[in-house]
Copies of this chain bind each other. A is one copy, B any other.
Amino acid sequence: MPSSTVENYLKNILIVSLETKSSVVSMGKIAQGLSVTPGTATTMIKNMAADGWISYFPRKGVRLTRKGRKFAMSMLRRHRLLETFLVETLGLDWSEIHVEAEELEHAISEKVLEKLDEFLGRPRTDPHGHPIPTKGGHIYRANSKTLFLCKAGMKVRIDSIIDQESDFLRFARSKKLIPGNEVTILSHEKEADAIILQIGSDNPFSLGSRSSEKILVSL
C-alpha cells in the first residue's frame, strides 16, 4: 500500500491529466500542485516509478500506469464522496470541505467507503459539481467549457467550480454561482477582459477572466 504522500502525488497527477486532457504531466505541475520544491518532486517521482505507479520520462514528465491510474481514481472517489458526506450529512459549508477531505481520504478504508457510498445513496457528483468515479474506476466526463468562453446572449448551466479556495467558493455561493444554476451572459467584450452575467432575475454582475475560467458550464 502506498503512503499518504504517494496517494497525494497520484491523485494530483490524475487531476492534472484530466484537467489538461493530456496523459503526460510535467514535473513543474506536480511540484506546484503538491507545494514541494522541484527537486523533491523529482526524487519522489523516481521512487514511484520504481514502484510501478507511474512511467517517468526524464525532462518530459510522468504518466500514470494502469495500476497508478486505478489507485488515483480510488483516491479521487474517496475525496469526493467524503466531501459529499461533509456537506450532505454533517452540514459543513462547501468552502471548508476540501481541506477536511484532503486528510480524511487517507484514513478511510474501502470497507467504510462502501458503506458511506451506500448511506449517501450513491451520489454521482460532489458538492462542487465534480463527477465521483465509480468503484470500478470509471469517471463521467462532461464536455463542459469555461464560462469565459461564452458569448453574449448565451444561456448556460453551471456544471462545476474548479477552484477549491475557500474565499472564491464563498464568493461564488454569494453570487449563486452554484452547479445546476442557469446563467445568462449579458455581454462579453474580449478586450475588457470581463463578462457581465445574470442569474435568474438577480442583479447582473461582472467577472474577470481569472474568475470566469474557474467555472465550467454547458448547453
| Residues of chain A at the chain B interface (Cβ within 8 Å) | 86, 89-92, 96, 100, 103-104, 106-109, 111-112, 115-116, 119
Our pick among B90, B103, B107, B116 for the contact of A90 (Cβ within 8 Å) is B116
Whether the Cβ atoms of B109 and A107 lie closer than 8 Å is no
Please, which residues of chain B bring their CB within 8 A of the CB of A86? 112
Which B residues are CB-close (under 8 A) to A119?
Answer: 89-90
Complex Cα–Cα for A106 and B91 (A): 21
**15 A–B pairs (Cβ distance < 8 Å), ordered by A:** A89-B89, A89-B119, A90-B112, A91-B115, A92-B111, A92-B112, A92-B115, A96-B111, A103-B107, A103-B108, A103-B109, A104-B104, A104-B107, A104-B108, A106-B107
A122 to B116, CA, bound (A): 21
Q: Are B91's CB and A112's CB within 8 A?
A: no
A107-B102 Cα distance, complex, nearest whole Å: 9
In the bound complex, how far is the Cα of B87 from the Cα of A112, in angstroms?
Answer: 11
How many angstroms from the CA of A111 to the CA of B101 in the assembled complex? Answer: 13
Asked if A100 contacts B89 (CB within 8 A), the reply is: no
Residue with the highest number of chain B CB atoms closer than 10 Å, among A89, A90, A100: A90
Q: Report the minimal beta-carbon distance from A131 to chain B, rounded to whole angstroms.
A: 23
Which of B90, B100, B112 has a CB less than 8 Å from the CB of A100?
B112
How far does the alpha carbon of A90 sit from the alpha carbon of B81 in the complex, in Å?
14
A208 shortest CB reach to chain B, Å: 32
A86 to B109, CA, bound (A): 12
Q: In the complex the two chains form, what is the Cα distance from A100 to B108 in whole Å? A: 7
